[in-house]
Structure formats: structure tokens, C-alpha cells
């Protein structure tokens, strides 16, 4: 007999985290623990209001399946039992870890992969004033950051990017607009950003309003985030975007994320792996997907006042996985 335990936790942030949609000082996560014959599988998801989720809605979805889960529901069944999203992610990842534990494997081995020594990881610059964002960039690179993800809205875009580039002349810069660049002249804006050697721009327009991205050449590669949840979205986005951002909380877990990598590669699209705010427990589950990614954005634990096991190591702009 399998047992499922659910826990809702509010994790305080070490400092405010601001994007185009608002500012957060804490993040609420739902954790799942599965126990079967002494073997444990744990996971964490972050419900996202942007997608109509809350801790309560996630717990309700998981509770609705308690009987099935505790009587042996497997990963394949979960894909049909729950829609893509945070609840399915929590259950899918817990089952992956439980299955790996029962097989006496690591998560890497269960995914038929070998852990790399390290992965270059983005450090996010929260939306702020030009001065504060440049100072944050300088601090990040002083600690070894090689890849910076810049959160922007519609205000002072070029001035902020110019200040950050001056503060971090050697770093790779990617920009995340979080759907905020509605009614801007995107071809002109992207052309202006070229001078700052921007490697990629993520989700400039709202999901469902991004058809115009197919109408002009992309002088900077564009990445779909809010527009892309599962593999079913990828084909229709191939003429609008050059990359997709795979997040376990969007797609519903490791199972779908691995399938998304294959589908994106078939479409000739590159991959980024991203995250919601959360602890190392959530980030570790995404690492097997990160090995196929051009950009790895799994810095959620760096924003927390206190992290949780398995305590990934973040140092010199890299994540150092355990094997």
C-alpha cells in the first residue's frame, strides 16, 4: 500500500522578486511525499495564478486522486488523470523519484542520463530601476555569473539593457518581457537591442496574441514561455518562435518535459529549461531536461531566504548536480 502526504508551505524570499506582472516577497509551494514499502518519492510544485492555480486548487486536484494514487496509479496514468500544470507536475515528479528509489537508481539513471559535472545557470535580475539593475548585474558577475536573465516591462527598456551591459560586458544576456511588450514596434526594438549583444528575448507578447511574430525576421532569437505549455503547442509556434521554455510546473512534470524536448528538436527549435520560484527539491527534478537545453534558468533557490533538501550547489554561475 502506498501513502501520499501533502504539505502547503509559504517560503519567504530573501529579497523582493519583481516582473512585469507584479512583485512577490514569498512563494507558496505544495509538496508531495509518496511512501511505499519504505521507499520515498518527494516533489514540489509552485501553483501559478497566471494559469488560474492556487495551493488550494492543486491540493484539491491531488486529493481527488488520493485513492487511485495510494492504490498504485502510475506515471502513465497520471498523464490522463490530470491536466498539464502544477498538480500533475507534483505527482509525476514524486512518482519518478519513488520509482527510482524502488529501482535503487538516481533520478539521472531513471531518465537514462549521466549527470554532468556542472551546468551554466542563469541568474535573474529582478525588475527595478536602471541603477539597481546595473548594480545587481555587477554583483552577479563579481560572484561568477556568466548568464544573466533580465526581467523587463515596457519602461526604459534600452536604458536598462545598456546599463546592464556596461556593468556586465562579458556576460551572456537574455531578456524576459513576460508578455509586456504589447503595441511596441517589435522589429525596431529588437534591432535596437542587437547592439547590446542580447542572446535571446523571451515572450515579448501575450500568449494568444503573438501571431505577429511570424511576420518579420528575428534578428534576435525569440523564446516562447507563456505561449508554450505542452508538446501539443510546439508545432503551431514554430513559425513564431525560435525556442521554447520548458517548465515542469507548466507542462506537468518530467514525463511531458522529456517528450517536449523530442518534439522541439523535431521542429528545429531550441530549448530553454526554466522554473517558477521554488526550492532545490523542485529544481533538481528539472536537471535531466537541462542537459538538452541551450539555456538553463533554474535559479529559484537563490531567491529564497532558506532552501530545502536536496540543497543544490550554486557557485561561479553554475549548478553542480549530485550524480
Cα dist from 146 to 75, 119, 122, 149, whole Å: 36, 11, 7, 10
Planar angle of CA 167, 171, 175, nearest 5 degrees: 90
CA 321 – CA 323 distance, rounded (Å): 6
State the catalytic residues. Answer: 151, 247
Backbone torsion region of residue 43, taken as left when φ is above 0, otherwise alpha when ψ lies between -120 and 50, otherwise beta: beta
pLDDT computed for residue 71 by the predictor: 97
All cell numbers assigned to 142: 563579481
Which residues are registered as beta bridge partners of 11?
27
pLDDT at 323: 53
Rama region for 140: left / alpha / beta (φ>0; ψ in -120 to 50; rest): alpha
Mean pLDDT of 92-120: 96
* 184 burial via Cβ count (<10 Å: 0-12, 13-18, 19+): middle
∠ CA 76-80-85 to the nearest 5 degrees? 100
Which pLDDT does position 128 carry in this prediction? 97
Mean pLDDT, the chain, integer = 97
Q: Look at the alpha carbons of 269, 244, 177, 141 in this order and tell me if their dihedral is positive or negative.
A: negative
Interval 221-274: pLDDT, tens: 999 999 999 999 999 999 999 999 999 999 999 999 999 999 999 999 999 999
Q: Residue 235: what are its φ and ψ, rounded to 5°?
A: -60, -40
Average pLDDT over residues 275-302: 97
The fraction of the chain above a pLDDT of 90, given in percent, is 98
Contact 161, 193 (CB under 8 A): yes
| CA angle 163–151–127, rounded 5-degree value | 75
pLDDT score of 293: 97
CA dihedral for 253, 254, 258, 259, sign (positive or negative):
negative
Amino acid at each position: 500500500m502506498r501513502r501520499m502526504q501533502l504539505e502547503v508551505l509559504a517560503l519567504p524570499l530573501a529579497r523582493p522578486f519583481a516582473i512585469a506582472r507584479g512583485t512577490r516577497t514569498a512563494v507558496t509551494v505544495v509538496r508531495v511525499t509518496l511512501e511505499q514499502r519504505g521507499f520515498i518519492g518527494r516533489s514540489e510544485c509552485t501553483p501559478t495564478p497566471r494559469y488560474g492555480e492556487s495551493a488550494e486548487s492543486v491540493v484539491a486536484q491531488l486529493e481527488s486522486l488520493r485513492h487511485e494514487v495510494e492504490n498504485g496509479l502510475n506515471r502513465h496514468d497520471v498523464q490522463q488523470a490530470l491536466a498539464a500544470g502544477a498538480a500533475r507536475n507534483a505527482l509525476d515528479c514524486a512518482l519518478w523519484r519513488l520509482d527510482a528509489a524502488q529501482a535503487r537508481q538516481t533520478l539521472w539513471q531513471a531518465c537514462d542520463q549521466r549527470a554532468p559535472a556542472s551546468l551554466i545557470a542563469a541568474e535573474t535580475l529582478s525588475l527595478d530601476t536602471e541603477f539597481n539593475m546595473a548594480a545587481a548585474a555587477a554583483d552577479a558577475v563579481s560572484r561568477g555569473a556568466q548568464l544573466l536573465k533580465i526581467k523587463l516591462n515596457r519602461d526604459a527598456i534600452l536604458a536598462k539593457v545598456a546599463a546592464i551591459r556596461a556593468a556586465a560586458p562579458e556576460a551572456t544576456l537574455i531578456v524576459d518581457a513576460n508578455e509586456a511588450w504589447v503595441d511596441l514596434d517589435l522589429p525596431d526594438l529588437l534591432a535596437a537591442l542587437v547592439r547590446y549583444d542580447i542572446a535571446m528575448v523571451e515572450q515579448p507578447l501575450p500568449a494568444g496574441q503573438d501571431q505577429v511574430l511570424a511576420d518579420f525576421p528575428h534578428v534576435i532569437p525569440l523564446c516562447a514561455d507563456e505561449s508554450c505549455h505542452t508538446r501539443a503547442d510546439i508545432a503551431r509556434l514554430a513559425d513564431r518562435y525560435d525556442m521554447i521554455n520548458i517548465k515542469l510546473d507548466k507542462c506537468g512534470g518530467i514525463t511531458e518535459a522529456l517528450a517536449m524536448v523530442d518534439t522541439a528538436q523535431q521542429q528545429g527549435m531550441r530549448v530553454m529549461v526554466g522554473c517558477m520560484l521554488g526550492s532545490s527539491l523542485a529544481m533538481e527534478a528539472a536537471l535531466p531536461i537541462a542537459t538538452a537545453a541551450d539555456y538553463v534558468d533554474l535559479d529559484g533557490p537563490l531567491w529564497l531566504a532558506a532552501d530545502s533538501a536536496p540543497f543544490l550547489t550554486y557557485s561561479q554561475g553554475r549548478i553542480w548536480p549530485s550524480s
